[in-house]
Amino acid sequence: MKGLTAIAFLLFVIGAATAENKEDVKTGLYEGDGHKFHIRLAINSTKKEVLATVLDGKAKKKAPIEAKTIELKITGVKDLVKLDAKDAKDGKTAEFTAPLDKLQGKTAFKDIEIWAKVNVGPPTKFELEE
pLDDT at 12: 53
pLDDT at 23: 85
Instruction: From residue 9, give the alpha-carbon distance in Å to each of 13, 55, 100.
Output: 6, 42, 37
Instruction: Return averaged pLDDT per consecutive 10 residues of the chain, 130 residues in all.
Output: 52 50 89 93 96 96 94 93 93 95 93 90 90
Cβ neighbours of residue 45 closer than 8 Å, sequence gap 6 or more? 23, 24, 25, 26, 100
pLDDT at 82: 96
pLDDT at 68: 92
Task: Please give the domain boundaries of the chain with CATH numbers for all domains.
Answer: 24-128 (2.60.40)
- What is the chain's length? 130
pLDDT at 39: 97
pLDDT at 120: 76
Residue 25 near residue 43 (C-beta atoms within 8 A): yes
